[in-house]
A and B are shown apart, each in its own frame.
Chain A
Amino acid sequence: MCVEWESALFLFSSSVLSLEALVINDPDFQHEDLNFLSRSQRYEQAIRKSSLMVLKLREYGITDPDEIYWFKRICLGNFPEPFGLHFSMFQKTLETQTTDAQKEKWLPLIIGTYAQTEMGHGTHLRGLETTATYDPATQEFILNSPTVTSIKWWPGGLGKTSNHAIVLAQLYTQGQCKGLHAFIVPIRQLGTHEPLPGITVGDIGPKFGYDEMDNGYLKMDNFRIPRENMLMKYAQVEPDGTYVKPLSDKLTYGTMVFIRSLIVGDSARSLSRACTIAIRYSAVRHQSELKPGEPEPQILDYQTQQYKLFPLLATAYAFHFVGAYIKDTYHRISGDIHEGDLSELPELHALTAGLKAFTSWTANAGIEECRMACGGHGYSRCSGIPDIYVTFTPSCTYEGENTVMMLQTARFLVKSYTQVSSGQQVTGMVSYLNDLSRQRIQPQHVAARSVAVRINDPVSLVEAYKARAARLVEAAAKNLQAELNHRKSKEDAWNRTSVDLVRASEAHCHYVIVKLFTAKLAEISNAAVRAVLTELCLLYALYGISKNTGDFLQAGILTDAQITQVNQRVKELLAIIRPNAVALVDSFDFHDVHLGSVLGRYDGNVYENMFEWAKKSPLNKTEVHESFHKHLKPMQSKL
């Protein structure tokens, strides 16, 4: 199989590739291996690169949004940047929520960030405690962090970099709380960069990853800002303190959908990088013996190694298609949204919440499996996988904690189920629930109908996943109803069913992914490419069954004998995919510089380069470490 076909799938434009060459060959962007730097040094490098990037964007005259996006990715590699929130949330919020006058004043001058999360409050926004009290006498808002838990905590770029922040606070005017609103708050002096009086700001300390990011804290004590600093495109406070309500807040849905679709894409990309490293290394590493007397084989020839890696490879491909689907759907319906048609938004919102959780959980675990499949060397920072993992893993939490996301999807599924039960039809990805009403005539359990599943046919497997989703949604909805019948409170019943509800959402998302992967196959015109992707699609679907056999058996979707066949077929597919494994990861087309891995090098010269890399370790700076003179020698002489 050749690797050129990737462009047909991922649509990298030639301009992206030339941007990449531009950056990789630019001496200004070279730096020491980040693994050997301290946090402060990594922060400084990141600031240097970010600043440089802004200047180069101007120098090269890059203005196209897509090109800016790629340029940034290429400049920064895969590491977070302290300006990240400045470009995404800060500017975006300013652009969408300010009046033109505000925009003109704020946009060019400052480095900003977006301060929402507090130490004691995250996903549940209404719980935020920061207050902004309007004082009509001076026409100012007075900002306060009334408790320890209300200290803003986590915003990227807040600790050291930004001189302004958009702060989310509970607005009080005329003695009443009007809920959360956004305010532009200067936090550091222009010119000296010192914190302003009334502001306590700093870095929240070391984290699992994101070493280069100054995630920060912010405490405000009677800090006053002019009335104009409230973002007033939607809600307004008039000079006398009169509050003017916003028109609609549904629009924020759109932004959330968009950001979550980016996380799905990021799940695909991060998992692809980990797979690339693990699969290339597994072709280089030799270990033990398969046949007595023969040389040690490549570890990729072991069934157990294939079983660890190939399902993940298939998953990475599946997630690429899912990410692209959500992005396309979002773009398709965002036109409708602008025209005021919000009918498709609830489903998309519910679906992206679940898919964000499903893909980030899976990728999170998958990256670690890839790392562990590299044995001891995967544990070294030189493998690059520890960095992929620690950078990726917070996406299970940010932009909506995953369990909460799954429960949002579940709420939509239960609602759809209730609609079907009351005789209405539902549309879109949940339309399979319509079948339930037809089956209700029969006394038996919904999924006990036999689906004649053909395990070599992806389309038939989509049906099996559909039946599983239907069964689990129905079971959760029924359990919820039973709890409701027992208890007074809706919330209690919901809580006591939430494990079932999460399972239902997972099954629904799993179905959607298998369906989208299968649908993608028909779009591939190159026969060889279609053949290999069909194998991957089958592997993805069958592996998912073999990992969740309980659901398929209990629902009577598959028999014991079929499960045995599925398990067997998975192993056959591993052997079939084996010859194409390296080509399939080469197709992701990661440049060595961006893979950042000695184990995953394109040329496979792993051991020589590990030795070269290790020699640069800070502990090796002198041949005899100072600890010898300080501690070891005195100990030996004393004892």
Chain B
Amino acid sequence: HPQVQGSLLGSVNPDLASERQTASFSVEKLTAWLDGGTEHTRLRRAVVEAIECDPVFSRENQYFESQNERYEAAVRKAVHLQKKMDEMGWTENGPEFKALSGDLAFLLHRIFTRSISMLGSDQQIAKWIPLATQYQLIGSYAQTELGHGTYLQGLETTAVFDITTQEFVLNTPNISAMKWWPGDMGRSATHTVVFAQLYVNGKCYGLHPFIVQIRSLQDHSLCPGITAGDIGPKMNFEHIDNGYLMLQNVRVPRENMLSKFCEVQPDGTYVRRGSQKINYFTMTTVRISLILDEVVIPLMKACTIAIRYSVVRRQSKLKPGEQEAKILDYQTQQEKLLPQLAAAYAFYFISDYLQELFDRGYREIQRKNFDMLPELHAFSSGFKAMVTQYSTSAVEICLRACGGHGYSLLSGLPSLYTKIVASCIYEGENTILFLQTARFLIKCFMAASTGQPVPPSVTYLAAVTPEKCPAKNKLDFLSPDIYTEAYQHMAARLINSTAAKLQDLVQSGVKKHDAWNQCTVQLAQAAKAHCHYITVKNFAETVEKLETQPGIQKIMKHLCDLFALHGIFSNAGVFLHDGYISGAQMDMVTASYLDLLAVIRKDAVPLVDAFDFTDKTLNSALGSYDGQVYQRLYEWAQKSPTNKQISPAYERYLKPLLHKTLSKL
């Protein structure tokens, strides 16, 4: 990191220091609560410290490096981390990976391992997991194809069982069937889990996972029948070798099909145990874990950078004769950033909620009870879509709120954005995920309206709510009951009216699938509304549980109010539509919402300080704790390779150009 001896760096910029003196709550207490206790905070900090003082993990030059250099650094760090983990006794699920901000190779190796643990038989687990854990092999997870993504049934790769040799023969039948995108596969992986259509005796049994070796364990050359490589530069993830893979008559033994739930027996008999949906369970797991690590944490970082910078940056004057004002004192700047901050908190809490739901579901599945799967699947889909979509736009707002300097890679914001934006696509394209959630909601709505039981999270679909919002003045809109009910009403109305529309279409003779396609815009909107409602409700409930910590509860309540009212303010139409909220009430919402901006403004810096990111984790010239923005930017820029290497451009092109001009005079 750009720590320069003898410079201003380290002493806190007075503009930032003054923000910390007026905090209305204890930052340390909020941090501890977010971490789940002081002990967790201590542990997390110790790990971060251990990693950041190790020069191998330095990210100072990250923004200056080429794709090749980034990849090599990621491999180097991942290898070093393994050593370090052994030394320190860290575990796979500990906080170390977060401390490294995902700047590592072998992330897909973890998915490889996880999918074997979940989908493999006991023998398969016993065989492969030790090899993977000790890095005797490097794994990847190959599902997506060049021509096929979220729609898994459309995948074209085939695995045909050959009874005579007791092997599966894997093939890529045409170019669109080539595996495309899997991480770690372009250069690093020796093995991968390939998803392919299983054929036994000419009959297709659908998609199944197979362990396939793709590179030699000796010299890393490609195995016979394998074509693989890197798919080329992307918007981000330069450190990851996302790859392509073509299979030509590649044979793997019968035992390489992951067979906890499905098996092909030696005589070719196909046996299924439990629900086929379980094959998708890895995706559910990944969706839920990515919300915190890949989405909420980057959003928190972006808020930290943008808010700290906004109290250091001064621009124009608010009052004649005074100093130029901090840009965070402008209402328009508050309106850009503070709702994003509230969203970061809201999503942090929703990821807790989902994790709990998931843990419950997982315990049931271990007991071979699959009842919770549909709800789990619907929730993981819908929330993944909503949180990634919302957070992506939030990070982009943070980026643009930093003006020109936000555009510099040294601000850290472009790389946060280009990384988070990928989450809208991977692990299921968001629109498709919303529609999956919508399918579940419509089903539940139908069931609930005929009195059948539905999961507790969706009983509200059949609940009776008042037809008008009871708020009488703008302060009423600071009551969680009032706004939660407004969200509930709105979500129920959208689901209800979409279901009615679907039914109308079908009754008027439109085919079911056509009716569905004609309602998809509405369906996606309804699913989003449902997730928005649950997020608001969960935020309000989280605040309620904070009664033992009144200092923190108060500021969390403000953030909860802001999150909720911002949502109503920016989606006014759907709340006004059936008159649930009147025009006059909407003016109250707006007034309360704008008032809250000024209230939260005072605690904005403490609220991001509480996220407790170190400067090295943020890796941003604009967002460092000391606020020495300009000094840091200047010193860091001078280290850019463009300032160190001599460019041949002058001698080769500029000089001749100038001389030709001169000779013509």
Interface residues, chain A, with chain B CB atoms under 8 Å away = 35-36, 38-40, 43-44, 47-48, 50-51, 54-55, 108-111, 117, 119-124, 127, 148-149, 151, 153-154, 159-161, 190, 193, 202-209, 214, 217, 285-292, 296, 302-305, 307-308, 368, 372, 375-376, 378-382, 386, 390, 393-394, 396-398, 401, 403, 407, 489, 491-492, 495-499, 502, 548-556, 560, 563, 567, 571, 607-608, 610-611, 613-620, 623-628, 630-636, 639
Least distance between A37 CB and chain B CB atoms (Å) = 9
* A204 neighbours in B (Cβ, 8 Å): 408, 633, 637, 640
Stretch at the interface among B133-141, B369-377, B460-468: B133-141
Contact of A291 among B138, B513, B657 (CB under 8 A): B513
Least distance between A282 CB and chain B CB atoms (Å) = 13
Least distance between A427 CB and chain B CB atoms (Å) = 29
Would you call B650 an interface residue if the criterion is a C-beta within 8 Å of the partner chain's C-beta atoms?
Answer: yes
Q: A111-B654, A121-B315, A560-B577 are in contact. Are A611 and B400 (CB under 8 A)?
A: no
Contact of A636 among B151, B217, B329, B513 (CB under 8 A): B217
B409 and A381 within 8 A (CB): no
Contact of A111 among B232, B573, B658 (CB under 8 A): B658
B178 and A290 within 8 A (CB): no
* B221 neighbours in A (Cβ, 8 Å): 623-624
Contact of B135 among A40, A47, A151, A635 (CB under 8 A): A635
* B455 neighbours in A (Cβ, 8 Å): none
Would you call B647 an interface residue if the criterion is a C-beta within 8 Å of the partner chain's C-beta atoms?
Answer: yes
B316 and A124 within 8 A (CB): yes
Q: A397-B403, A607-B175, A624-B220 are in contact. Are A127 and B316 (CB under 8 A)?
A: yes
- Mark B641-665 against chain A: 1 for CB-CB distance below 8 A, else 0: 1110101111011111110111001
Which residue in chain A gives the minimum CB-CB distance to B649?
A: A47
A304 and B521 within 8 A (CB): yes
* A639 neighbours in B (Cβ, 8 Å): 82, 134-136
B82 and A635 within 8 A (CB): yes
Would you call B101 an interface residue if the criterion is a C-beta within 8 Å of the partner chain's C-beta atoms?
Answer: no
Stretch at the interface among B120-128, B197-205, B420-428: B420-428
B634 and A217 within 8 A (CB): yes
13 contacts between A and B (CB under 8 A): A36-B233, A51-B653, A193-B650, A375-B429, A379-B422, A382-B232, A396-B400, A618-B67, A619-B187, A620-B229, A620-B230, A626-B72, A639-B135
B640 and A203 within 8 A (CB): yes
Contact of B654 among A51, A123, A296 (CB under 8 A): A51
Report how many residues on chain B are interfacial, defined by Cβ distance under 8 Å.
132
Stretch at the interface among B279-287, B317-325, B446-454, B606-614: B317-325
Contact of B407 among A372, A394, A499 (CB under 8 A): A394
A40 and B641 within 8 A (CB): yes
Least distance between A377 CB and chain B CB atoms (Å) = 8
* A292 neighbours in B (Cβ, 8 Å): 513
A495 and B650 within 8 A (CB): no
- Mark B296-335 against chain A: 1 for CB-CB distance below 8 A, else 0: 0000000000000000011111111000100001111101
Which residue in chain A gives the minimum CB-CB distance to B409?
A: A206
Which residue in chain A gives the minimum CB-CB distance to B587?
A: A554
* B344 neighbours in A (Cβ, 8 Å): none
B63 and A379 within 8 A (CB): no
* B579 neighbours in A (Cβ, 8 Å): 560
Question: Please, how many angstroms separate the alpha-carbon atoms of A187 and B522 in the complex?
Answer: 60
Would you call B435 an interface residue if the criterion is a C-beta within 8 Å of the partner chain's C-beta atoms?
Answer: yes
A633 and B220 within 8 A (CB): yes
Contact of A39 among B134, B314, B641 (CB under 8 A): B641
B244 and A205 within 8 A (CB): no
Question: Please, how many angstroms separate the alpha-carbon atoms of A201 and B21 in the complex?
Answer: 38
Interface residues, chain B, with chain A CB atoms under 8 Å away = 63-64, 66-68, 71-72, 75-76, 79, 82, 134-136, 138, 144, 146-151, 154, 175-176, 178, 180-181, 186-188, 217, 219-222, 229-235, 241, 244, 313-320, 324, 329-333, 335-336, 396, 400, 403-404, 406-410, 414, 418, 421-422, 424-426, 429-432, 435, 511, 513-514, 517-522, 524, 571-579, 583, 586, 594, 630-631, 633-634, 636-643, 645, 647-650, 652-658, 660-662, 665
Q: A376-B426, A381-B235, A619-B71 are in contact. Are A122 and B640 (CB under 8 A)?
A: no
A368 and B649 within 8 A (CB): no
Least distance between B403 CB and chain A CB atoms (Å) = 5
Contact of A380 among B231, B320, B524, B637 (CB under 8 A): B231
Q: A120-B314, A491-B318, A625-B187 are in contact. Are A205 and B64 (CB under 8 A)?
A: yes
Least distance between A170 CB and chain B CB atoms (Å) = 15
B149 and A630 within 8 A (CB): no
Question: Please, how many angstroms separate the alpha-carbon atoms of A289 and B330 in the complex?
Answer: 50
A55 and B647 within 8 A (CB): no
